Homo-oligomer: A and B are copies of this chain.
């Protein structure tokens, strides 16, 4: 992750966009975003033309995060309809929220990105479950980092590590993984160091999986169970003169990049 010292319109965003354009990739990246004096745990989306597409803000921070981070709302749960497929993301433990995942399923997500800081084996079980539940590819990226990747001791205390660890100590061991809609692990999980993991995604897998279980289609029971997502932006103070018309979403909830 990257610590943004400015809002998404700042220089870090510009630089990330340029990198996406240079390497002609869709870039989905977890960051710390600042708006005013509050920080948000966010995911930024960029396209191969070097454009910043938008962001998802973590809807509910976890544990100690809540002390210093703000809370997202329903207006930043995007799914982008790209030539690769429909791309969206949840970050870290909010992936455990079944209603939030269902909001993404309702938007037709096909490439489900799950940047995280959870490197426990049980995280892998959740990724496998989500791939099958949603009938989508799950790409979960976790950072691999050592003590030396962070600033010197006086600024940071590494809780639970006792005395100051050595510079080579692995602080977060990674575990990035790619899983198919049928629950097959296509790449990873990698705990061995910094790495780039890749897989060819056969989008037909989605169709085949959905024939068996379409969580928002034939295997739903909307008369009995209906989820309402308030995806309007909510602001503590809003000014009538500044009412921004949000760009109209398509009827399936996705947005064209």
Contacts and interface: CB of A to CB of B under 8 A. Distances in A.
Identical copies of this chain, number:
6
Nearest to A240: B230
A229 interface: yes
Contact of A239 (B96, B126, B231): B231
A236 B249 contact: no
Interface in A56-107: 59-60, 62-64, 66-71, 73-75, 93, 96-103, 105-107
Given A236-B226, A251-B242, A217 B98 contact: no
A238 B129 CA distance: 23
Nearest to A249: B242
A141 interface: no
Contact of A230 (B183, B218, B224, B236): B224
Contacts of A135: 37
Contacts of A206: 37
Contact of A218 (B69, B120, B216): B69
Interface residues of A, number: 85
Given A96-B213, A228-B226, A67 B74 contact: no
Contact of A237 (B105, B126, B223): B105
A111 to B, nearest CB: 14
Contact of A215 (B96, B129, B246): B96
Interface of A: 35-39, 59-60, 62-64, 66-71, 73-75, 93, 96-103, 105-108, 120, 122, 124-126, 128-130, 132-133, 135, 182-183, 206-207, 210-232, 234-242, 244, 246, 249, 251-253
23 contacts: A36-B108, A37-B211, A38-B214, A38-B218, A59-B221, A59-B225, A62-B213, A62-B219, A66-B66, A67-B67, A70-B214, A74-B224, A96-B132, A96-B213, A102-B237, A126-B133, A128-B129, A215-B236, A223-B230, A226-B235, A226-B237, A227-B236, A229-B237
Given A37-B211, A99-B226, A242-B251, 8 more contacts: A62-B219, A64-B67, A70-B218, A96-B133, A225-B236, A226-B235, A226-B237, A228-B240
